[in-house]
Structure 1
Amino acid sequence: MNADTAKRFNAAGAAITVFTVFCAVVWAFPIYWGIVSSLKPEDEVVRPYIELWPENLTFQHYWFALTETQIGRWYINSIATAVGTTILTIVTSLFAGYAISQLRFPGRQPLYWLILASFMVPTQTLIINHFVLIADMGLLNTWAGIILPQLISPVVIIVYKQFFDQVPKDFREAAVMDNATEFGVLFKIYIPMNWGVTTALSIVTFIWSWNAFLWPFLAVTKTEMMTITVGITQVTDAFGVYYARQLASAVLAGFPVALAYLLFQRRVTQAITLSAGIKG
């Protein structure tokens, strides 16, 4: 590679870097603006011009959210429903993926095709059916009513199936020869070989459940049973909307998810890559 070619490559790399940084700033600015606005008095928030930093820094809106709302209860509801959804989704998807991958039973292939076809059905189209079923079962305004309709996650089943398909058959044959049951084969061989996948899928499922809004919004009408994503919409005042209070509540709602992403970034990226590969 001669000097001119090297210079062209360096110039192209610099241009790509500048463009990437620009895109990152554009993406991050709304987050920065929301956090900064939550630290401003309300009269500064509604000013007709832009201020990139608070003139009078205040934490009163966070104090209001923590002391004058039911945000503690909303946190408990979100944690309970997100953890419950994650555990049940992973367990059921694990069993389903193993059965489709390793067992031979009538209807196995049509069942797998049905799971693949479910990607073509948007979750929003099932909302009415879910609401009617949950209402008929008397589970509105309950944790179970929030959790059950969120257990439909075909991508997790397919990811598990693909990874179980990649496990060498020799391991299963050796375990069967030692009189191991199907549960023994699954828990002693297949799961230990796929702990990384399970961890990644668990984290992403938890984040997805925590961020869910539409179904919890429809399934819950009592303020004390709301998840935090729905509850923060109730942070209003008798005299109108206080934007800084709502932004402070939104920051508090998003903090656990942001922290989880920062702590488990590699696992989250792995799960997103797996899911994108399946959907592609």
Structure 2
Amino acid sequence: MATKTTKRSTRDGRGTRISAPLTIVMWVVVLIYALPLIWFLLSSFKPGSELFSYPLSILPREWTFQAFIDAWDRVDFARYFLNTAIVAISTTVLTVFFSACTGYALAKYDNRGTRIFFVCILATTMLPTEVILNPTFSVIRDLGLYNSLAGIIVPSVLTATGVFMFRQFFLTVPDDLLHSARIDGASELAIFFRIMLPLAKPILFTLAIFSFQWRWNDYIWPLIVLNDPKWYTLQVALRSIVGAENIDWPILLGASVISILPLVLVFAIFQKYVLNADVSAGLKD
């Protein structure tokens, strides 16, 4: 017994000696990545005269909220927030729903046609976004969706990433669960909405966070589709702050910080569902 205890203590000691340096290295990496973000956030509380004063300092010498006030008044954030929220929320809801439907069909209705369709969907991930901008714009223009929020929403409804995530998850759900539900008289829609979607809740919330982030930060496509400033999203509006020669850095920093607050809020609300959800609920051991 004493020998086993000694061996266990030796292994614990070795594990501690190995994990301690790795932990230090990881904290150093975290600080390296966090430093620009911390500098960006703290700089938004500095007056313009302090941003480029020498020597540079991370903490503001004089704390001020004037940059946020000026940004809100001059950039018309209420309108741009509403436009961006409509695009992000609508696209997220549609993306999650249609990705779940497509992933379920590809996972549980297995035949040659669905397999070919799945390969075609995955093939789109090998195409850079820039390659499909021109044909996508042509389709949106011909549909009469140019210079409208619908022109931003429609092309982003279905993503290969979302379909792949749901398909791989639904493949792990035993077919016996579906057969039992059919024997009990459940319809296909009831099986999908009352059994499959609740089981896929972790995937649902994860894709929702990603989709909301993608659409909220999208810049290239809204810049191409939107021509009227009243339909601008936040990222396009922020670009208008940057002049040809002069940049109002305090306003740009304040507006940028305001624009990321919804992303932080969404993640803070939904991350507990992603991190704490039981992914294997309802599955066989």
Within 5 A, what are the aligned runs for 1:61-210? 61-104=67-110, 107-210=113-216
The residue type equivalent to 1:233 in the other structure is: R
Q: Could you tell me which of 18, 24, 29 is aligned with 1:18?
A: 24
Deviation at 1:64, TM superposition (A): 0.6
Q: Alpha-carbon deviations, 1:41-95, whole Å to 9, x = none?
A: 1121122431122222211110011112211111111111011111111111121
- Which residue does the alignment assign to 1:278? none
Is residue 152–residue 225 contact of structure 2 (8 Å, CA) maintained in 1?
yes
Q: 2 CA distance for matches of 1:219 and 1:91?
A: 25
3-state SS of paired residue (1:107) = helix
CA contact (8 A) 1:81 1:209 kept: yes
Task: Provide the aligned length of Structure 1 versus Structure 2.
Answer: 272
The corresponding residue for 2:40 is 34
Give the counterpart of 2:225 among 219, 224, 234. 219
**Percent identity (aligned):** 28
User: 1:24, CA displacement in angstroms?
Assistant: 1.2
Q: 1:270 to 1:49 in 2, by over 3 A?
A: farther
C-alpha distance in structure 1 between counterparts of 2:216 and 2:274, whole Å: 14
How far is 1:3 from its partner?
A: 7.5
Where does residue 275 of structure 1 map in the other structure?
Answer: none
Q: Shift in Å at residue 2 of structure 1?
A: 8.3
> For the Cα contact (< 8 Å) 1:93–1:157, is it kept in 2?
yes
TM-score with structure 1 setting the length: 0.87
- Alpha carbons 2:98, 2:158 under 8 Å: kept: no
Q: In structure 1, what is the Cα distance between the partners aligned to 2:10 and 2:182?
A: 64
Q: Mark the runs of 5 or more structure 1 residues left unpaired by the alignment.
A: 272-280
SS at match of 2:147: coil
Unaligned runs of 5+ in 2: 1-6, 278-285
Whole-Å Cα distance in 2 between the matches of residues 69 and 179 of structure 1?
57
Distance 1:163 1:222 in 2: 42
Q: Shift of residue 232 of structure 1?
A: 1.3
Q: Distance in 1 between matches of 2:157 and 2:54?
A: 45
Matched, 1:45 2:51: yes
Shift of 1:118: 2.1
Secondary structure of the residue aligned to 1:57 is coil
Amino acid at match of 2:96: I
Give the Cα separation in 2 of the matches to 1:205 and 1:167. 24
User: What is the TM-score with the length of structure 2 in the denominator?
Assistant: 0.85
Partner of 1:274: none
CA contact (8 A) 1:82 1:210 kept: yes
Give the 3 Å change call, closer, same or farther, for CA 186–264 of structure 1 in structure 2.
closer
User: Counterpart of 1:17 in structure 2: which amino acid?
Assistant: T
Match of 2:4 in 1: none
Query: Is the contact between residue 203 and residue 267 of structure 1 (CA under 8 Å) also seen in structure 2?
Result: no
Deviations along 1:124-163, one digit per CA (max 9) or x if unpaired, are 3211111222122221221111111222311211221222
The alpha-carbon distance between structure 1 residues 159 and 5, as it changes in their structure 2 partners (threshold 3 A), is closer
Distance verdict in 2 for CA 1:109–1:270, change over 3 Å: farther
CA distance in 1, matches of 2:195, 2:11: 52
Q: Determine whether 1:54 maps to 2:60.
A: yes
